[in-house]
Structure 1
Amino acid sequence: MSGDTDLIKLYSSRILALAADIPHLGRLEAPDASVKRRSPLCGSTVTVDVTIQDGRVAEFGQDVKACALGQAAASVVGAAIVGTTQEQIETARDQLKAMLKTGGDAPDAPFDGLEVLLPARDYKNRHASILLSLEAAAEAMDQAKQVHCA
């Protein structure tokens, strides 16, 4: 019975509310870069589009086909990402990975809302889906930077 209680905690009302209201949902018409990431374990996918200006995310769009946890992560990322730098996104990605896999702290602001996913730490099969949005965003920023520098 404790397994059921743990799952109920995992899918808290806050996580479900985030999953139901994902900011910047949809694709950009003319992105500087687009990246699609897929979790091989569960099949969740996130496609991220970015435009950058002065080294920061100017516009962001995402197409999210993921479990509630992946959707919740995408929701937090979508709410926080406009105006951030590649370094901030990569730091948040690395901090989220550490939070899930090695007991690290939640990511720094503006991505500190990802703390809501702390209960997923014990569900290793969900980690890849949770990381998709930040991984795709980091890769898209790298691609966009190369386009702007070329």
Structure 2
Amino acid sequence: MIDDLYSARILSLAANLPYAGRLSAPEGTGEKIAKLCGSRAIVDVDLDENGHVVRFAQDVKACALGQAGAGVVGEAAIGSRLAEIEAARDAMLAMLKSGGEGPEGRFEGLRILKQVADYPARHASSMVAIEALLDAVRQALKHHTDTRTNIAGAA
């Protein structure tokens, strides 16, 4: 049964991580660690003036499931906005915890991890990338707000 969990698609996503690395001087950085297994994702982002992710990088050290989730997140992050990422995270949690269908739209690829619902010990590792992206975007939005406030205050 666990062999079904590690499908060829999951292993392919895990092996081909898009946007691997770090950004120099990102506007936002998020880091999440799955305490049970130690899977870790660090995500860096820059946003445009409308809050869309325009630059993205991720440094992920995780099991195949965490890497696969990061693969999907890497494919979908550019162009995303906070509300989309929050909705994807919430739908992913519902998929893993209560039988939900999973994310829609640009993050629909995370549905590949639906079978992880049967393995509660793997839930946190599957979530590290999307949660790190969410934290990075929130931090970048705060950076944008702080920058606008500083500019307005200097005028």
Aligned to 2:54: 58
Could you say what secondary structure the match of 1:25 adopts? coil
Higher-Rg structure is 2
- What's the RMSD between the two structures over aligned residues? 0.7
How many angstroms does 1:51 deviate by? 0.4
Aligned to 2:5: 10
How many angstroms does 1:8 deviate by? 0.8
Aligned to 1:124: 120
Gaps of 5+ in 2: 147-155
Percent identity between the aligned chains?
48
1:35 pairs with 2:30: yes
Query: How many residues get paired?
Result: 145
| Equivalences for residues 1-150 of structure 1 within 5 A | 6-53=1-48, 54-150=50-146
Gaps of 5+ in 1: 1-5
Q: Aligned partners of 2:112, 2:140: CA distance in 1, in Å?
A: 29
AA of the residue aligned to 2:6: Y
Could you say what secondary structure the match of 1:46 adopts? strand
> How high is the TM-score relative to the length of structure 2?
0.92
Runs of 4+ with >2 A deviation: none
> How high is the TM-score relative to the length of structure 1?
0.95
